[in-house]
Structure 1
Amino acid sequence: MPLHVPPAPAPALRSVLAALGSPTAVRAARTPSLKTLQGQLTPESPLPVYVLDQITPLGGRPRTRLTGWRFLIQGAEPNAAAAAAAETMLTPDGWTFSHFFEGPYVASTERALRQAESLTTAYQPRLLSVPELYMLTLWLHGDPVADASSCRPAPGDLLVPLAPAPPGIAAHRPHRVADLLPVLTHRLTPTPLLGSPA
């Protein structure tokens, strides 16, 4: 069943298009693939990027906040892999271009989106970052028509850890939020110090 990709805010898309159209911005980017591509570069697959601020144990709902929109940058060659990604951020003046980047999360995001397309349930794709674990997941929200600017993960939503995932968490394996968050909570809970031996 196809994913219901939410539309990016128009100012976010315009800021990425302006950066792609600026030879200075592309040359200044530390993304060799953007510098070598010929032809038109296109921002595709807009995904809202959320940060997990607080994992609430004992049945509470996790707290997230929308921090940006990420676009996969495609070259002119049809069916080619994304060359890089562009990120926008929300400022007091609205959405603005932040930076271009490349690396393993670009290919991993594409792979996770392809896997999600084969699921039988409709989802709205998002990205969820867990900074304390250096972890990024594809968040498949169960309400495909939800407002992408405000939402918390529901227990039945799916999280697909992107590669590279933290040790002990399998990349590209979908987990229900209700199943994965307790694992993350355990990893983020400090271990109490034991007293010194007698």
Structure 2
Amino acid sequence: MKIKEIIVVEGRDDTVAIQRAVTADTIETNGSAITEETIERIKLANEKRGVIIFTDPDFPGEKIRKTIAERVPGCKHAFLPKQEALSKKGRGVGVEYASVEAIQQALRHVYEEAAEWREDITLDDLIAAGLIGGPLAKARRQRLGQILKIGYTNGKQLYKRLLMFQISKEAFYHALEQVLQEEKNNE
């Protein structure tokens, strides 16, 4: 599998994991303190070939993703479910721990930020679905993020991602139906 875009990752171990899974070039941020020079390289890469942000499914990874997305509009995003990114010893989370198959799957489901946001889904929809507030909200958001391939988020981030990636109301409710059915089956 060859990737045209340049993939932005956090570090050298992530680059090694990506290159085991696909043929691609990477830019490493070397942590969450992204330098101006790195931002400029990402901007140039985005202009020339496009960029896919592929950071770890943890707080620092989300911070890096948000920083880059704010500074370099028009990037694409790949998300790895947290359970696919756990180290074998369970002490770490990162792209570098993911299997070849998990990385390839994430890169097959890349999202592009919409140029113009439509507000098909409302915060009221999320509240009514039990995705914000309530004892099952976190687990539901986590599973919904897996199904839609947009990563885990808190309630506010979920709303923003649904809009940013233009997830249709139909796709949202289809995924939600799957989450609720799985809950019912696990009772």
In which range does the TM-score fall when normalised by the shorter chain? 0.3 to 0.5
TM-score in terms of structure 1 length:
0.33
Higher strand fraction: Structure 1 or Structure 2? 1
Higher helix fraction: Structure 1 or Structure 2? 2
Q: Could you say which structure has the greater relative contact order, defined with CA pairs below 8 angstroms and 6 or more residues apart?
A: 1
TM-score in terms of structure 2 length:
0.34
